[in-house]
């Protein structure tokens, strides 16, 4: 699939000077360049990077789409990233590769198949740097791009989604590595009036991976242990104010535990535009999801760990495609004194500059 992504980019660039008019109509090739710098303390489990020394990162995302027919489109997105102090050099990942069939009309719907964005939860639609009002993301969101099929539609004021995906919702800091396994996911929402939507979502399926079997009783399979997540989300817009929120509960079947382990989390994220170019934003969240760690086949650590997290930021739109943001983030772990040494608190100060661009427009013949 990665070769196909590069092939789409190569075809677009090669044909652009000759077929600029047709390309603008049937081909999309856009990108987002992001540069970040931050400083943190050296202790926080959630926020510390580069052992507390100043650090930076560069990220380049580019996506392509080809329209074969008004109803059929092929999408691909590639990401190149590098982070100072990581010692890993430049990383490359094919994040999206999907075929979409869509139908317009009174009851529009679309079907996506391939490597898709996580189809449930309220944050995935806002994770790109020039859409996210802050620099960080909610603590329980790992940005996953599972293999799957998703059916989305709308009827009047109601929207719905049904899908089967290969990866669970997870926080990579608190759980073992997950492997691919089919898991259904459902979501629906209603927009009672313009500017306000509320919805619900749910998913169930395996959340562990084959490596976990080394720490299970003989004869056990990682596919036997399920995660179930149920959540509510909403969005509200009035004038220059935007508010998003989400609350979810989860249960986990964990090896060596007779009963399920439960967790919950919520976040509120608000943005207020002060002038056409300037805005302020704030995200508050609490997470009490479990920390899961295998110690031996007879004993797995699985306990809820309470986290409070807040990020406040300021954004300035230098141009319609250029955005500069700064933020301050702080975490608080009100855990039992017996484990407090494992959950030190800290802060992060960050600066981010993002630039969106359209490659096809560079070759357009304009009067």
Going by pLDDT thresholds of 50, 70 and 90, the confidence category of residue 206 is very high
Q: Is 112:177 a contact under the CB 8 Å cutoff?
A: no
**Model confidence over 301-357: pLDDT tens digits?**
998 888 999 999 999 999 999 999 999 999 998 888 877 888 888 999 999 999 999
Helix (H/G/I), strand (E/B), else coil: 61: strand
Q: 33-47, 155-169, 253-267: which has the minimum mean pLDDT?
A: 33-47
| CATH number of the domain to which 150 belongs | 2.40.160.10
- Looking at residue 10, what is its pLDDT? 53
Q: Could you give the C-alpha distances from 21 to 6, 51, 74, 197, in angstroms and in order?
A: 22, 51, 19, 38
Percentage, residues of the chain above pLDDT 70: 90
pLDDT tops 90 at residue 49: no
- If 0-12 CB within 10 Å is exposed, 13-18 middle and 19+ buried, where does residue 76 land? buried
**Model confidence over 66-124: pLDDT tens digits?**
988 899 999 999 999 988 866 677 888 888 999 999 999 889 999 999 999 988 888 88
Q: Residue 225 and residue 2: Cα distance in Å, rounded? A: 32
- Looking at residue 209, what is its pLDDT? 93
Q: Could you give the C-alpha distances from 313 to 105, 132, 269, in angstroms and in order?
A: 40, 11, 11
- Looking at residue 140, what is its pLDDT? 77
Residue ranges of alpha helices (H) inside the chain are 2-15, 20-26
Q: Is 173:46 a contact under the CB 8 Å cutoff?
A: yes
pLDDT tops 70 at residue 17: no
DSSP 212-237: GGGGS-TT--GGG-EEEEEEEEEEEE
Percentage, residues of the chain above pLDDT 90: 62
User: How many domains are there within the chain?
Assistant: 1
pLDDT tops 80 at residue 170: no
Helix (H/G/I), strand (E/B), else coil: 367: coil
Domain hosting residue 30, numbered range: 2-363
CB atoms within 10 A of CB 295: 10
């Amino acid at each position: 699939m990665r070769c196909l992504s590069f092939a789409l980019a190569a075809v677009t660039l090669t044909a652009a000077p000759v077929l600029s008019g047709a390309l603008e109509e049937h081909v999309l090739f856009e990108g987002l360049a992001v540069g970040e710098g931050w400083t943190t303390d050296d202790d926080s489990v959630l926020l510390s990077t580069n052992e507390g020394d100043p650090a930076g990162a560069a990220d380049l995302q580019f996506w392509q789409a080809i329209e074969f027919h008004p109803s059929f489109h092929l999408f691909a997105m590639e990401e190149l990233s590098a982070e100072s102090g990581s010692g890993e050099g430049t990383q490359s990942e094919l994040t999206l590769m999907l075929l979409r069939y869509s139908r317009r009309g009174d009851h529009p719907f679309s079907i996506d198949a391939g490597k898709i964005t996580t189809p449930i939860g309220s944050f995935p639609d806002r994770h790109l740097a020039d859409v996210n009002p802050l620099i960080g993301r909610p603590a329980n969101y790992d940005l996953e791009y599972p293999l799957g099929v998703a059916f989305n539609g709308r009827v009047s004021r109601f929207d719905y989604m049904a899908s089967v995906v290969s990866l669970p919702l997870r926080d990579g800091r608190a759980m073992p590595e997950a492997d691919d396994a089919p898991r259904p996911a459902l979501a629906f929402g209603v927009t009672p009036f313009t500017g306000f939507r509320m919805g619900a979502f749910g998913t169930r399926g395996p959340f562990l991976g084959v490596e976990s079997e080394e720490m299970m009783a003989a004869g056990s399979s990682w596919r036997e242990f399920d995660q179930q997540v149920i959540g509510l989300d909403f969005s509200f817009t009035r004038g220059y104010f935007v508010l998003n929120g989400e609350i979810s509960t989860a249960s986990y079947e964990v090896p060596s535990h007779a009963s399920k382990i439960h967790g919950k989390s919520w976040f509120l994220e608000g943005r207020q535009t002060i002038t056409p170019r300037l805005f302020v934003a704030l995200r508050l969240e609490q997470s009490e999801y479990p920390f899961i760690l295998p110690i031996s086949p007879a004993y797995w650590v699985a306990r809820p760990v309470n986290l409070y997290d807040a990020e406040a930021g300021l954004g300035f739109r230098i141009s319609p495609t250029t955005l500069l943001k700064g933020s301050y983030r702080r975490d608080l772990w009100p855990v039992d004194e017996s484990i407090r040494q494992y959950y030190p608190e800290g802060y992060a100060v960050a600066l981010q500059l993002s630039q969106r661009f359209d490659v096809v427009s560079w070759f357009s013949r304009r009067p």
